[in-house]
Amino acid sequence: MLSRTALGVFRLNGQFLAVSEELARPAGLTAAWWQVLGAVLREPQPVAGVARAMGITRQSVQRVADLLVERGLAAYAPNPAHRRAKLLRPTEAGRAAVERIRPGHADLAVRLRDALGEEEFARTAQVLEDLSDALARLESAEP
């Protein structure tokens, strides 16, 4: 079951990355840029916080964050909790880019809901969250 689940998640990840690239491209973003910008839309976060939330390495988030800042889509701000770990926040240009993705994102959400049915779509999201939570608990319990 573990192999079947892992292969299904890997395939799904590839599918989501491909769709995300397609949705992000017209806004001048990549899927990775969109992912990092999306993580800081509500509130600025340090790069390490984005990495933890997304389950990816701090180094890969740092590379994307630096590119976003270089292109004017994000900026670093002082972090009152930590002098060296600056907060990443979107600029107005970054927010506008993410906003341009919303119509395609909403359309895909409707099409997936229609394909799965509302209850099954919600159950699928819950199962994926439960799987992620279970893996996190196992990781934290390891010596």
Nearest to 39 by CA among 28, 23, 51, 30: 51
Q: What is the pLDDT of residue 9?
A: 95
Instruction: Give the span between the Cα atoms of 121 and 114, in whole angstroms.
Output: 9
Average pLDDT value for residue range 53-65: 94
Q: What is the pLDDT of residue 78?
A: 93
Average pLDDT value for residue range 70-99: 94
| pLDDT range class, residue 127, cuts 50, 70, 90 | very high
For the chain, give the mean pLDDT.
95
Q: What is the pLDDT of residue 51?
A: 95
What is the sign of the dihedral through the CA atoms of 49, 50, 51 and 52?
A: positive
Average pLDDT value for residue range 69-89: 93
pLDDT in tens, 9-34: 999 999 999 999 999 999 999 999 99
Q: Quick one: tokens of 102?
A: 């919303």
